[in-house]
Structure 1
Amino acid sequence: MRINVLQHTPNEGIGSVGAWAKENHHDLFIYHPYFYNGVLPTADETDLLIILGGPMSPNDSDDWIMAERDLIRTLIKQQKPIFGACYGAQQITKALGYTVTKSPVKEVGWDKVYLESNIIPDIPKELTALHWHEETFQIPHEAKLLFSSQYLTNQGFILNDNIIGLQFHFEPEDVNVKEMVTNDFAYIKDSILGQTAEDILNFDVPKENKTVMFKLLDFITK
């Protein structure tokens, strides 16, 4: 399988997606469309699309953002698996014609998310994930709510059993969290979670997050 990753900022990398790809002997290619003049993979050379987070908004009008959405729509029509984290999930919903708006709260730091659907087996009812956002997506009508949190209902969805969008992050490993906080620490200000950069760094990444990330990817590629 060829996995094409769309990475949108240097400090939000693939995390455990890389370990999953290696364990399953998949080929992994990383694209940086925000930097390299909008270079994107084609749909035909994509078996699984991973869309990572970033500081931009899907409501921005950059040509590469629109091109990403064209790619997403094509892959949806081809019934290929897609996973989106944060901005990536927002791009999926925008591609389907739904809205992305300012969130009622800014969530930056570690907080619990709650499972809202049993469609994927053996997912814990409660997990602690990394949040790094202040926008939120509208759940597509044809999708199922997958996760929620105490501050935001629309934290995750699953569509057609092969597309998952999460507003938060299960994929970061320790080194990824350090990179995010080191470079984007100013963004932590005014988060409702009330955590400092030191709080976020000193919190051990839950081991079950990698396990759950593997289960999510296994499910949409089965």
Structure 2
Amino acid sequence: MRINVLQHTPNEGPGAIQAWAEQHHHELYIYHPYQFGVLPNADETDMLVILGGPMSPNDSLRWIIRERQLILTLLDQQKPIFGACFGAQQITKALGYPVTKAPAKEVGWAPVHLQSHLITDLPETLKVLHWHEEMFAIPDDATLLFSSDLVENQGFILNHHVVGLQFHVEPLPTNVREIIINDQAYITGSRLNQDAETILATPVPPENETALFSILDYITEP
């Protein structure tokens, strides 16, 4: 399987998604449309991963609009799609749903709570990395998957082959350090009240990778 990854900033890479791909002997191709303007074609995409980034789906940049056109094509083809943060917002925006300011800016570690058992082996609570102040609306035909204490819309499942998460379960410890050292100014104004040192000192829960693998297994099931 060829997995095309859309990376939107240097410090938010695929993390544990790459480990899952290697475990299943899939090929990972990483695109940087924010820098080079290059996107994969639908016919060379078996699975699409859309990562986070500092931009908003509401920005009128040409590559952001083209990215949503690719998403719509792949949705029509019923190919698996996984979106994290900005990536999840792009999926819902492509479907015509609004991306708006969240009730609270969440930056740091905080729990999310499972709202659906469609993916049978996910835990009831996960302590995950939040890095956002916008949120998606849940599409009418999607199922709410996770909520946090401050923001209800934290994850969704759509048509078995699509999952979008507002938070991050893909970062490994090295990825967290990379995010913090490059983007710690973004922490200001977060309702989670954690500074950079606190976020860095928090171990990445091993169950996050397990949950991520379960989600990726689910959306790639025949």
TM-score range relative to shorter protein: over 0.9
After TM superposition, the score normalised by the length of structure 1 is: 0.99
TM-fit CA distance, 1:132: 0.1
- Please report the RMSD computed on the Cα atoms of aligned residues, expressed in angstroms: 0.4
1 CA distance for matches of 2:121 and 2:54? 32
Identical positions, percent: 65
2 CA distance for matches of 1:166 and 1:217? 12
After TM superposition, the score normalised by the length of structure 2 is: 0.99
CA deviation vs aligned residue, 1:151-188 (integer Å, no higher than 9, x gap): 01000000000000000000000000000000000000
Unmatched tracts of structure 1, length 5 or more: none
Q: SS where residue 168 of structure 1 aligns?
A: coil
1 CA distance for matches of 2:126 and 2:101? 24
- 1:41-190 alignment runs, 5 A limit: 41-190=40-189
1 CA distance for matches of 2:214 and 2:45? 20
TM-fit CA distance, 1:45: 0.4
TM-fit CA distance, 1:201: 0.2
Aligned length: 221
CA deviation vs aligned residue, 1:71-106 (integer Å, no higher than 9, x gap): 000000000000000000000000000000011110
Counterpart residue number, 1:33: 33
2 CA distance for matches of 1:25 and 1:122? 23
2 CA distance for matches of 1:220 and 1:104? 29
Unmatched tracts of structure 2, length 5 or more: none
Runs of 4+ more than 4 Å apart: none
1 CA distance for matches of 2:122 and 2:104? 26
Report the residue type matching 1:203 in the other structure.
T
Report the residue type matching 2:149 in the other structure.
Q
Q: SS where residue 140 of structure 2 aligns?
A: coil
